[in-house]
Amino acid sequence: MRTTRSAPGNRLPGVFGEIDHIGIAVEDLDGAIALYRDQLGMREQHRETVEEQGVHAVLLEIGDAHIELIAPIGPETGVARFIERNGPGMHHVAYRTDDIDDTLRRLVEQGMRMIDREPRVGIRGSRVAFVHPKSTGGVLTEIVQPAEDH
Ligand code: CO
């Protein structure tokens, strides 16, 4: 990773907007919902199977952000492999942007290694892209541009 200089013209800070969600990998979606919704009282907002990411996903509200519970669709998915290696737990941090193409370009400009060079379809019709954890100190990082109506 290139080091960042605070020279004039450097456009950092401000690559990201705000936290959109924290992704949590779970084996047992119903058990996780029982924890977050029923024990911790977060409102369940949305459920969806996101084929593109190989997950069953549930969004729960926490302030202006969400907890995103993700359970693998099958054993060959990235999230299944993650759980195999690390067990269930925190999986990724997602930052919101209103212009994912610009954010992607700026991340590449900053020398970040991208998993996705082009946005793909995420939950609720959002556009998402992932930054490789090798560029971000081991934290899988997602950028998300919500669909217009969310
Ligand atoms: Co996510």
Distance in Å, CA 132 to ligand 1 centroid = 14
- pLDDT tens profile 91-118: 999 999 999 999 999 999 999 999 999 9
Give the residue among 33, 26, 80 at the shortest CA–CA distance from 53. Answer: 80
Mean pLDDT of the chain: 91
Over range 18-25, report the average pLDDT. Answer: 97
25 is a domain residue: yes
Locate 105 and state its tokens: 């370009």
- pLDDT tens profile 64-94: 999 999 999 999 999 999 999 999 999 999 9
pTM reported for the whole predicted model: 0.87
Distance in Å, CA 95 to ligand 1 centroid = 9
The number of domains in the chain is 1
E-strand stretches of the chain: 19-25, 44-50, 55-62, 65-72, 89-96, 120-121, 127-131, 141-145
- pLDDT tens profile 137-146: 999 999 999 9
2 is a domain residue: no
Distance in Å, CA 4 to ligand 1 centroid = 26
Residue 13 carries which DSSP code?
S
14 is a domain residue: no
7 is a domain residue: no
Domain at 26, CATH number: 3.10.180.10
Which residue range forms the structural domain that includes residue 67?
19-145
Distance in Å, CA 46 to ligand 1 centroid = 13
Distance in Å, CA 7 to ligand 1 centroid = 33
